[in-house]
Amino acid sequence: MNKFKFTLLLLLTTFLMGSSFAVVKIGLPYSSPLLLAGLRFTIAGIIMGVIVIALKRPHPKSKGNWIKMLIIGAFQTAGVMGCIFLSLRTISASESSILTFTNPLLVVVFGTIFSQAHYKLYQWIGVLLGLVGVGITMGAQIEFKIGILFGILSAVFWAISTLLAKKWGAFFDTWVLSAYQMLFGGLILLLGSFILENPVFSLNGKSLFILFWLSIMSSIVQFAVWYYLLQKGDPGKTSAFLFLAPFFGVLSGWLLLGEPLYPSLIAGGLFIIIGIYLVNSNFQQKSNVVKRTL
């Protein structure tokens, strides 16, 4: 893949990741949060499920592997997205995106504690910078909002699902896992909507467009492009550019919602973006390449 195409697709997928927070915020006046999240991922999961069946992608044959996909969906889609949608009721899209995308920092911490994984010094420096950034961003809050807790929980659930996907990912075709974890997570969110909230959805052109955008562009297209880039390029180098997602989250919140860019938000966001870049980078691999060329 040429560099221009790679860059264009990378900008597209990270833009879709980050801007979805502002789009959800726009859609919340028309729908209760868990219902909107449930509809988004149930629709996306059904469409992707039809696609992977039509393409005859290898499906799990054992009940245990289907249960593993259900568990990943419960954390990745139901847990992460449910918390994001709930957080946006009380905090800005910028704050929610910044908190959610601290998940790579938590992967290092949880991976060390629970998986005995080993990380480089610069990755731990990234974790430290990210935590400082969270402190700066949230330290400016005069009052605690429940959305902050949901934003933090979304990052926690995402980190857990990442570690589970790393542990169990070899059992699944990537596209099949993506399709069914979204479907299972979406169904869990729909069930949660009818149990935990008064489900409301105002049917009109704007709400349908928002649901279409979230289901197709911010879910199917975003995941498809991201997985394509991971397969065609170096996964470590590609993942390093995840720092663009919270940047687009803050930018879209400002452009679409008129959210103010407080100095604390900008400063804290920069710390977190640098931290995410360090955590996902692989400088060791680069140095080895240099050594081999000498």
pLDDT tens figures, 102-111: 888 888 888 8
Over residues 221-270, the pLDDT tens digits come to: 998 888 888 777 766 667 777 778 888 888 899 999 998 877 877 888 88
User: Is residue 142 pLDDT above 60, yes or no?
Assistant: no
Comparing 18-22, 130-134, 177-181, the range with the smallest average pLDDT is 130-134
pLDDT > 90 in the chain, percent: 46
Q: What is the mean pLDDT of residues 281-294?
A: 47
| Backbone phi and psi for residue 56, each to the nearest 5 degrees, phi listed first | 55, 40
CA gap 215, 213 in Å, rounded: 6
Specify whether the CB–CB gap between 22 and 250 falls below 8 A.
no
Q: Is 236 exposed, middle or buried (0-12, 13-18, 19+ CB in 10 A)?
A: middle
Residue 211: CB partners within 8 Å, gap ≥ 6? 27, 31, 36, 39, 40, 43
Q: What is the mean pLDDT of residues 122-129?
A: 85
pLDDT > 70 in the chain, percent: 91
Over residues 148-191, the pLDDT tens digits come to: 899 999 999 988 988 888 888 788 888 999 999 999 999 999 99
pLDDT of residue 143: 58
Quote the Cα angle for 55-56-57, to 5°.
95
CA gap 34, 86 in Å, rounded: 7
Q: What is the mean pLDDT of residues 83-100?
A: 90
Over residues 66-80, the pLDDT tens digits come to: 999 999 999 999 999
pTM, two decimals, is 0.85
User: Is residue 52 pLDDT above 80, yes or no?
Assistant: yes
| Backbone phi and psi for residue 201, each to the nearest 5 degrees, phi listed first | -145, 115
